[in-house]
Amino acid sequence: MKKFCIILFTLGAILIFSQSAFKNPEPLTAAALGRKLFFDPILSRTKKISCASCHKEEFAFSDTSAISLGVHSRKGVRNTPSAMNMSLQVAFFWDGRATTLEQQALIPLQNPIEMDLPLATAIWRLQNNAYYKGAFLAVFHEAPNAVNLAKALSVFERTLETGDSPFDDWRLNDNEAAVSESAKRGFAIFNTKGRCIQCHFGPDFNDVEFRSIGLYDQKTLLDSGRACVTKKESDLGRFKIGALRNVAITAPYMHNGMFKTLRQVIDYYNNPDKIVPHSINRDTLLNTPMGLTEQEKTDLESFLVSLTDKQFAGKLKKMRP
């Protein structure tokens, strides 16, 4: 009798899901399920915000505010980075507290400042939602649980890869007309005088190491970054090196969103002491000013803009007419 009841329950859940899917057809894949969850406020305590509330799709899944607001308008502590191009990452969050996308996916849900929903409550909601109950059974052949919830969200995030920018068209397809001469000069500066390549390299222009770029001084800049996780003095002020793809549409910048434009970022790197004169534990790479001219700064910015995936061309044009 017990097995018979379980079979009836499963068939009933699939039937309900099938009827729901008929009204709102979606491919039955883990990625499609993860996308629906990513945009669904069901995973927040108030049912008013979702992952997408802070990771806005039109801005390469980043936020336009220096610091995002969570449930009940609670202010976060760090800038929301892009959720794109995560497949090659080995650490997540600015301080690297998560080492897999699956770990990362469930942390904001439970964070009291962000979505403030206990994991057990999130699972209960999904198990008691007709659509999700059927969807998880169809995709994972089991009811919603912490493991398959994390998997659905992380599988979706792994689909958010970009590699079709004007820069790619130029370097990979030998299309000299794909980028401006300014961008080409900027790429040369990026690799030489600007010293950017030493921290930003590879397919996504990032690094697996944590670096201190001088945004910690124990006075006005108090976020110790990686040290919050490791408790090591040597990690004071160190943060994850973010990928540069689509960087032109993910402002504001840095872990605290203190720079509103790419030019401000370039100005900072050009001469850090001019903006943060008494930083602690700053990387020796930034001990001497770069000495970039105004034209070189413009060229470097042009290169960074060329890393914008073509799917965001319309948004980029509106932001940078």
- Cα–Cα distances (Å) from 244 to 74, 110, 146, 241, 254, in that order, read 28, 28, 31, 9, 12
Fold classification of 2-157 (topology level): Cytochrome Bc1 Complex; Chain D, domain 2 (1.10.760)
pTM of the prediction?
0.90
Q: Please state the φ and ψ torsions of residue 120, each to the nearest 5 degrees.
A: -60, -40
CB 129 within 8 Å of CB 77: no
Structure tokens that stand for 54 in this block:
């802070």
Supply the pLDDT for residue 245: 98
Residue 261 has phi, psi (to 5 degrees) of -135, 160
Bridge partners (DSSP) of residue 98 are: 92
The residue among 280, 286, 285, 287 whose CA lies nearest residue 237 is 280
Rounded distance between C-alpha atoms, residue 50 and residue 54, angstroms: 8
Which residue is it, tokens 């799709």? Answer: 57
Instruction: Find out whether 165 and 309 touch, Cβ atoms under 8 Å.
Output: yes
Question: Is the Cβ–Cβ distance between 130 and 19 less than 8 Å?
Answer: no
Domains 2-157 and 166-319 share a fold: yes
Q: Which CATH superfamily is domain 166-319 in?
A: Cytochrome c-like domain (1.10.760.10)
Residue where the block lists tokens 């160190």: 238
Domain ranges within the chain, ordered by starting residue: 2-157, 166-319
How many whole angstroms separate alpha carbon 50 and alpha carbon 61? 12
pLDDT tens, the chain, 321 aa long: 444 444 444 444 444 444 444 455 555 899 999 999 999 999 999 999 999 999 999 999 999 999 999 999 999 999 999 999 999 999 999 999 999 999 999 999 999 999 999 999 999 999 999 999 999 999 999 999 999 999 999 999 999 999 999 999 999 999 999 999 999 999 999 999 999 999 999 999 999 899 999 999 999 999 999 999 999 999 999 999 999 999 999 999 999 999 999 999 999 999 999 999 999 999 999 999 999 999 999 999 999 999 999 999 999 988 887
Alpha helical stretches, state H, 92-129: 101-110, 119-127
Q: Which of 233, 274, 272 is nearest to 254 (CA)?
A: 272
> What's the chain's Rg over C-alpha atoms?
22
CA distances, 265 to each of 20, 51, 79, 212, 268 (Å): 48, 27, 15, 15, 5
pLDDT (0 to 100) of residue 76: 95
Quote the pLDDT of residue 27: 55
| Cα torsion angle, 172, 173, 174, 177, sign | negative
Two tokens, residue 35: 């996308």
> Measured between alpha carbons, how far is residue 99 from residues 28, 87, 94, 158, 172 in Å?
28, 12, 12, 15, 31
